[in-house]
Structure 1
Amino acid sequence: MNKTALVGAALALGSMAFAQQNRIDTIRPDSPQLSPYGEYQIGVQTLKVVNPKQLDIVNATAGNPIPTYDRPLTLEVWYPAQLKADQKPGGVYNTTTRDASIAIQVYGKAVRDAEPLVKPEKFPLVIVSHGYPGNRYLLSHLTENLASKGYVVVAIDHTDSTFSDVKAFGSTLMNRSLDQLFVLNEIDKLSKNGSKSFLSGLVDANNTAVVGYSMGGYGVVNTIGGGFTDFATTLQFAPPNKALAARAASNPDYLKTVDSRIKAAIAIAPWGMQVGFWNAETLKGIKTPVLFVAGDRDDVSGYEKGTRAIFENAVNTNRYLLTFHNANHNAAAPMPAPVETYNNFPLFEAYSETAWDTVKMNNILAHFATAYLGMHLKGQTDMQKYLNLVENSNDGAGNTYWEGFKPRTALGLSLKYLPAGK
């Protein structure tokens, strides 16, 4: 082989190694016990759905009737799969960084369009909602992981709110909860026998959890009963004509939209409390069990006046607060920063945390999500031991050491529990 060919081969191998660094399925040796992938192979498919006659906030003007439109949504669906003899686990997601002009490839374990594994007992549903902006792959480390453990996981590309489609913030405020509820209904419909969808006979939509990060968490809080304050409907950046009043606690019809099919929720750094979208009274409508997750240095959603305040005031439900100490707004949720962002600090920082390794945070989130959803959606009462912990991980010693964590690895975390009525 001549010198030119050797250089070309070296560059090709370097490019391949560079690309393969964008993995979302890495499990560190120091990960907690429930972090690794589960027993099922994973398939993934993309769905296009349309929610008809929705308020067109982007084209709305104050004082005039808000026009309507048919709202398109792109969904990514992960599910337990039955691989053919010639299929091996693994696949690629073609997406972008937070800068949509930078196309990237991200690698995981799911196989595109693999045959679903249909069993007599259907799989619970988990709906995942990204931040603003974000996209349906931002939490793919968690979506794949949960699918391998026997869930159908559906992540939403929220129109007007993705890396490649960022429009008026008022649209995000209006549509997050509505998108989540619409997707629940759509997946329920597609899961019916005879639907001709790959989801037919696969999903138990009566046994659903919603997971949201940042503005996705904002949507989750509203979806499960946290009605907005009247004040929030009047904010300058809110949709015109007080359109958010439809989702306000003062609206007598609002609580009728809380869906009994949703058995649990995970809200990661939910935005809104710190600017007045909820208060102690409006949060009383939450009766769905919730696992809140946050960094105590969150300067976007806030911690003491943000996520922790929601946790403390949701007094009518059992809830947990998992805190990553010294972490900011990116605690646990975003996938590891793509290597294409390494020469652009602001872009890199959109995924990363200064005091924490992202893969470690992703692994810890997978561990607690596995325990929490297993308990609430699968009736796995043995998972309770992973949640009955001494509050501060640094205080654990002997038989009070955090269950499922290897020696010396449960540091910098806290898990607080409050039962309904407190």
Structure 2
Amino acid sequence: MLFPGPLVAQTTETVSDSLGQEDLGTLNRIDLIRPDAPELAKYGSHPVGVRTFSFTDQGRIDIVNTTEEGEPPTYDRDLTVEVWYPAAPGTEPGGTYRALLRDGTTEVTLSGQAARDAAPAAGEFPLVIISHGYPGNRFLMSHLGENLAPKGYVVASIDHPDSTYDDQTAFPSTLVNRPVDQRLVLDAMAALEGDLGPLVDDSRTGVIGYSMGGYGALIFAGGGVTQGAVTRTDPEGLRVPQDLLARNQAGTETHEALVDPRVQAVVAIGPWGRNRDFWDAEGLAGIEKPLLLIAGSADDVSEYDSIRRIFDETTGTDRHLLTFEHANHNAAAPIPAPAEAWRTPLGQEGAVFDHYADAVWDTVRMNNIAQHFATAFLDLHLKGDTARSGYLSLVEVAEEGVWSTADDGTPNADHSYWRGFPERTAIGLRLETRTAE
């Protein structure tokens, strides 16, 4: 019951309809670590706790209800945020989450390691902000939140209004608000009171964004958008009224004020935007934060060639591009498809399985690889653990690495296999690295 793979041979009715809610909660696990997972995917030494917070930005411009004429209306923008953190020793692991499926109406139960409202550990830990895609929710990358917290991070995952499964509205809101939401959560976590407040070291912050979350993270990191993105008049629904996207435009005072020195590392998974010329080389060169890009070579949403352009044009920073060969837009980021998502065959009304899954790669496998590389990257840049650099200095094409060890397991001089990957498991991956120019 813990592993969804063996259920593939059953009908979709037996996968979900014949199981009770308790069974589905057990099946829908976000904490699975495969036996062949790379080394740094495993959970850390801390127990993990989780709490839900709400933060409000008063007087935010209401993009959805702004027209081309007149004073833009404002409103109080409320963000629900799931926060994972190192818990006190002795905390009993295990808990569940109630989340909505991609259809915006079906409730599902997810299970993991985090204990709800557990007492926190002693100490101060770097902050990681997680930002989902369009649409998505704060649980879409919960596997990363749960996985990083026991390794010594406080992780805050955002529900972005106008962009979640049950309140998805006009796309221009997402275009303007993503990096602003990320900054709001950083400020709110820095000011957090109560027993969790002392845990948060906001001076060492990382941002992980998927798709539109990656778009926001790149803007937040210093990659201001183009003038053409601000003034565009195309019929794709990407026009922001009254040129209000200018607050995120490269070279403006508002964008310069948004970029925050506390952010010291960015992970962008399948970031959207270069495929619609929301950036150019000059704007992307403004990113000076260490950057890890993760993508599938078959991504037809953010478009893999465009993600490679981001990699080429972020010349102001050291960066990596991790590629899952033949994976599409869901590479690495989403949790495994909940059992309820298996009910409806693809192509039929209500089908949501393909929102989570990939046609080639096993999702848990991709999650474990993302956990491994995110851990190495964040440990290096947020904790100063230089030993982690060995997990990022690799033969570019994974299967070209040579496994060569002595009988006692000591690597021989010609051993070049990807560090942390068990023998025969580094395949279908590519890691490219470039330094700032």
1:63 and 2:64 aligned: no
1:418 is aligned to: 434
The number of residue pairs the alignment matches comes to 401
Structure 1 segment 199-238 matched on structure 2, within 5 A = 199-236=196-233, 237-238=238-239
Once the 2 structures are TM-superposed, how far is the Cα of residue 70 of structure 1 from its aligned partner? 1.1
Which one-letter code corresponds to 2:430 in the other structure?
S
Counterpart contact for 1:333–1:362, Cα < 8 Å: yes
* Aligned counterparts of 2:107 and 2:19: Cα–Cα separation in 1: 20
Corresponding residue number in structure 1 for 2:28: 22
Letter in 2 for 1:67: P
In the alignment, structure 2 segments of 5+ residues that lack a partner are 1-16, 404-414
- For residues 267 and 15 of structure 1, the distance between their equivalents in structure 2, rounded to whole angstroms, comes to 34
Cα gap change, 1:73/1:253 in structure 2, threshold over 3 Å: closer, same or farther? Answer: closer
Match of 2:4 in 1: none
Shift of 1:14: 6.1
Which residue of the partner structure matches residue 256 of structure 1? 257
Instruction: Give the equivalent residue in structure 2 for 1:383.
Output: 388
Contact 1:27–1:363 under 8 Å retained in 2: yes
Q: Report the 3-state secondary structure (helix = DSSP H, G, I; strand = E; otherwise coil) of the residue aligned with 1:59.
A: coil
Among 89, 94, 105, which residue is 1:101 paired with? 105
The alignment partner of 1:402 has SS state of coil
SS of alignment partner, residue 293 of structure 2: strand
What is the letter of the counterpart of residue 182 of structure 2? Answer: Q
**1:268 touches 1:293 (CA, 8 Å); kept in 2?**
yes
- Alpha-carbon distance in structure 2 between the residues aligned to 1:260 and 1:16: 45
Unaligned runs of 5+ in 1: 1-10
Matches within 5 A, 1:164-183: 164-183=166-185
The amino acid across from 1:34 in the alignment is L
CA distance in 1, matches of 2:331, 2:342: 19
What is the distance in 2 between the residues matched to 1:343 and 1:189?
A: 43
Find the counterpart in structure 1 of residue 277 from structure 2: 276
The question of whether the paired residues in 1 share the 8 Å contact of 2:137 and 2:160 is answered with: yes
Give the deviation of 1:256 after TM superposition. 3.4
**Equivalence for 2:80:** 74
Equivalent residue number for residue 152 of structure 2: 150
Query: What CA distance in whole angstroms lies between the structure 2 residues aligned with 1:250 and 1:104?
Result: 44
Matching residue of 1:371: 376
Distance 1:384 1:71, change over 3 A: same
Question: 1:342-357 counterparts in 2 under 5 A?
Answer: 342-344=342-344, 345=346, 346-357=351-362
SS at match of 1:210: strand
Q: Give distance in 2, aligned partners of 1:59 and 1:123.
A: 39
Q: Give the structure-2-normalised TM-score.
A: 0.90
Give per-residue Cα distances to partners, 1:69-127, cap 9 Å, x unaligned: 1111000000000166xx520000001110121110000000000011122xx100000
- Give the deviation of 1:16 after TM superposition: 3.8
One-letter amino acid of the counterpart of residue 262, structure 1: V
- Between the aligned partners of 2:228 and 2:157, the Cα distance in structure 1 is 31
Q: Distance in 2 between matches of 1:232 and 1:380?
A: 39
Give the C-alpha shift of residue 12 in structure 1. 8.8
Q: Any idea what SS the aligned residue of 1:301 has?
A: coil
- 3-state SS, counterpart of residue 148 of structure 2: helix
- Where 2:130 maps in the other structure, the secondary structure is strand
SS of the residue 2:198 aligns to: coil
Name the residue aligned to 1:241. 242
CA distance change for structure 1 residues 221 and 396 in 2, over 3 Å: closer, same or farther?
same
**Matches of 2:81 and 2:21 in 1, distance apart?**
30
User: C-alpha distance in 2, partners of 1:15/1:269?
Assistant: 33
Q: How does 1:388-407 map to 2 (within 5 A)?
A: 388-398=393-403, 399-407=415-423
Give 1:6's aligned residue.
Answer: none
* Equivalent position SS for 2:87: strand
SS in 2 for 1:105: strand
Paired AA for residue 342 in structure 1: W
Task: For 2:315 and 2:121, locate their aligned partners in 1 and report how far apart those are by CA, in whole Å.
Answer: 40
TM-score (norm 1): 0.93
Counterpart check, 1:358 vs 2:355: no
Q: Report Cα offsets for 1:24-61 as digits up to 9, x if no partner.
A: 00000110011110000000000011001111011111
Q: Distance in 2 between matches of 1:133 and 1:334?
A: 12
**1:412 CA drift (Å):** 0.4
Provide the aligned C-alpha RMSD in A.
1.4
Q: Give the C-alpha shift of residue 168 in structure 1.
A: 1.0
SS at match of 2:257: helix
